[in-house]
Every structure is written in C-alpha cells, then in structure tokens.
Amino acid sequence: MNATDRTPADLLRSALTADPARPLVTFYDDATGERVELSVATFANWVAKTANLLQGDLAAEPGDRLALLLPAHWQSAVWLLACSSVGVIVDVQGDPAAADLVVTGPDTLETARACRGERVALALRPLGGRFPQAPEGFADYAVEVPSQGDRFAPFAPVDPDAPALAVDGVELTSAQLVARARDDAAALGLTVGSRLLTGRTYGSWEGLSAGLFAPLAAGGSVVLCRHLGQLGEEGLAKRMESERVTNSAV
C-alpha cells in the first residue's frame, strides 16, 4: 500500500488503484447462512454512495460525531469508510444523545431515538435489503442509498490529524488509526494478498482492526464472520480452506 496514506479513505483509494477486482470483505452470518463478498471496487462504490448520503442528504460535516450502533457486518465497514471520507468522527456504540447523527441496526432502534439529529436505520437483511416498513423517525438506509452518486468528493479536505474514531474509551485521529492498523497488520503477519478470517466483534479496537483496518492497510482482505461460534471446529476448518484463509484472529 502507499506509505503516504494517512486516512482510512486514503487506504481504500490505494487499494482501488492497485487491484479493484480482488475481494476485500467477505461477510458471513452463521445464524442466518448469509454470505456476501465485495470486491474492492464494489465496496468502494458502497462507500461513495454512503458518503454522498452522509454529506448531502444528512448534511454531515467534518468534526460531526456519529454514533454507530451496528454489529460486525459488511455494512458497518462501509459506514466506517464513508465517515472517514467525509471527516465525520465515528463513535462505535457511542451515546446517541451526545452525537450529531446516529446509524443503528434493528435491535437498537429505541436507544438510537435519543439522538436529536439525523437518524438512519439498517435492517441488516441479506443483500442489503430494506425494512418491510421503515421505523418511524428513521431514514431507511436501503431506500436512501441506491440513488446516491457513485463518485464522492468531500466539500472540505479531511484532516488526518483530526479525531476520526472513538471506540471502547480510545479516540484516534485518522493518522493514528492508519498507523495502528499498519502495526496490527505486521503483528498479525499480514502482507499484500493475505486473507484474514476473524470472528471478533466491532466493539473494540482489536475487532475493528482485524475486521477491516489491518487487512486494508496491508493490501489484504478479510473474511468477517458474525456468530462464528455456531459454526463448530469442523465447519471453521472447512471455511478456512474454501476461503483460502492465510491468517486468523478469532
């Protein structure tokens, strides 16, 4: 990857330049049997659309705080990179009452209502499906995002030294996030082309790093597994073989 990259959005742009067709995020939900694989190009397209929604329709600005109430999921990864593209601070499992915006899954809708700003809800259904009926007081992400533009340009440059992520009591700037992701990639033995399988949640830096940032920083990819414990040892071994996994962080 490019040594000059200082934000997660920079890392994604470098990945797109290097090899847009390779897989970046492969997501499994072992409670439902869902599997979704996104190439770098497809993932970047989702990020661009989401960043346009965030900056345009939701009027988010650099420095705004977004409470992200989502589990480890491919759409959560999209939101993390979209916020980086705009300069919005992601507060993972943060207090919606203290946030300018909130993005929530179906299980935390009532908690999310404490946010006085814009509220977005994700059904987290297979293939990014919408709610049968949008929750009152929330924009349905699956309804709003498809019409957004496929290319994104921020209204203002993102400052690498501005706060970018808050998780589990730790706040990082974009540059600090990228540096830690590179360190984690080295510690996990990740290199260009590595394929990391993880079942960690997104509620900690370790989970976010293994589940997105470290593979991205290394030029690798992630097999992100939700409810991995339901798979069993034999099933896990088969998955690692079928997905050509080179490293694991479970």
Domain boundaries, the chain: 8-249
The conformation of residue 23, written as its DSSP 8-state character, comes to E
Amino acid at 95: D
pLDDT digits (tens, 9 = 90+) for 154-172: 999 999 999 999 999 999 9
CA distance 232 to 143: 36
Residues 6+ apart with CB under 8 A from 169: none
Closest CA to 68 of 48, 52, 83, 49: 83
Instruction: For the beta carbon of residue 2, count every other beta carbon within 10 angstroms.
Output: 13
CATH of domain 8-249: 3.40.50.12780
The conformation of residue 100, written as its DSSP 8-state character, comes to S
H/E segment holding residue 81: helix 74-86
pTM attached to this predicted model: 0.97
Instruction: For the beta carbon of residue 57, count every other beta carbon within 10 angstroms.
Output: 15
> Which residues of the chain, if any, have pLDDT below 70?
1-2
* DSSP H stretches of helix in 60-134: 74-86, 109-112
Closest CA to 1 of 45, 40, 49: 40
At 1 the pLDDT is 60
Strands 163-167 and 139-140: unpaired
Amino acid at 221: S
Q: Which residue has the tokens 């990864």?
A: 77
In residues, how long is the chain?
Answer: 250
CA distance 80 to 76: 6
**CA 12, 14, 20, 23 torsion-angle sign:** negative
Backbone angles phi, psi at 176, to 5 degrees: -65, -40
At 127 the pLDDT is 85
The conformation of residue 51, written as its DSSP 8-state character, comes to H
